[in-house]
Structure 1
Amino acid sequence: MAKVAPQCQDGTEKMRKTTTILAAIAALSVGAATASAQSNQGPMKGMDHSAMPGMKGMKGDHNMMAMNDYMAAIKKMDQAMMSAKGSTPDVTFARKMMAHHQGAIDMAQIQLRHGSDADAKMIAQQTIDENTKGKAELQAWLKAHGG
């Protein structure tokens, strides 16, 4: 897992924990997608892949639905970030970060739909609130700077 900076811009431990959780979700999503792809092809078709990385603790179709939702959200975010461009590095940054914030919102909404842990759901809601605010700040900056 990628190392997270000791403190985020606003100096809060909460943001560091949120970033760590989102990184873990992304890592699990990649592992689940790889295992899912492998389980549907060739000689591995129909085999139990529960011992594979990223598959530990999976609980049937519901968890696979969540993993599929995470993968779709990550793909959408990646595409939006890659296509976001601007007339200046500042505008490009704002547009790419807006896509990044939307990706965090989308993944947190998936957690709220599929998750069961109350603390994780609370963090997901905080993620939605914080990233909605961050996205709005960037939109306001773009509007004020002709972007």
Structure 2
Amino acid sequence: MIRLSLIGLASALAITVAVAQQPAPKPAMDPAMHMKMMQPEASDSAATKGYKASMMGMMMSMPMSYTGDADIDFMMQMKGHHQGAIDMAKVELANGKDAEAKKLATEIVAAQEKEIAMIDTWLKAKGK
């Protein structure tokens, strides 16, 4: 009987030590903290201010609630996501210097505007 208690005690101790050695879970990031990180600062370049504004705009334009319909939720979320890409591309066009990056930005604006128009048509057909 003492032997079983010692085995039980040793097992409990081993489990306790193993659990204690696991890394602590990372606390969830406060969504407000993420938004604070995107606030422009006086020392930010014009491009950085533009990118922060585009990210804030994207986050604000994406619906915070869901309908439960995967298709509608996808389209509504993607519309905001695409607009954010357009806004970022426009920051590149206004501030960038690299011809290849500017070319990609131009292509992104054209493609994303076309997709937003398709999303708008689709959502309208669904009564949204």
TM value normalised by structure 1:
0.54
Aligned to 1:107: 88
CA contact (8 A) 1:86 1:95 kept: no
Is the CA contact (8 Å cut-off) linking 1:109 and 1:128 kept in structure 2? yes
Check if 1:72 corresponds to 2:41: no
Give the direction of change, closer, same or farther, for the CA distance of 1:84–1:141 in structure 2 (3 Å limit): farther
Change (3 A) 1:142 1:135: same
Question: Percent identity between the aligned chains?
Answer: 34
> Which segments of 5 or more consecutive residues in structure 1 lack a partner in the other structure?
1-29, 41-60
1:100 is displaced (CA, Å) by 0.4
Where does residue 120 of structure 1 map in the other structure? 101
Q: Quick one: distance in 1 between partners of 2:118 and 2:67?
A: 17
RMSD of Structure 2 on Structure 1 (CA) = 2.6
Distance 1:135 1:66 in 2: 24
Residues 103, 84 of structure 1: alpha-carbon distance in 2 compared, 3 angstrom cutoff: farther
Match of 1:97 among 49, 57, 78: 78
Tell me how many residue pairs correspond in the alignment.
92
* Contact 2:54/2:88 (<8 A) preserved: yes
Residues 84 and 96, structure 1, Cα contact 8 Å, conserved in 2? no
Q: What is the rounded CA distance, in whole Å, between the counterparts of 2:52 and 2:66 in structure 1?
A: 23
Residue 88 of structure 1 corresponds to 69
Contact 1:73/1:103 (<8 A) preserved: yes
For residue 146 of structure 1, report the CA deviation from its aligned partner.
Answer: 1.5
| Structure-1 residue corresponding to 2:24 | none
Runs of at least 5 residues in structure 2 that lack an aligned partner in the other structure: 1-33
In our comparison, the structure showing a higher alpha carbon Rg is: 2
Which amino acid is the alignment partner of residue 124 of structure 1? A
Q: CA–CA distance in 2 between the matches of 1:115 and 1:69?
A: 12
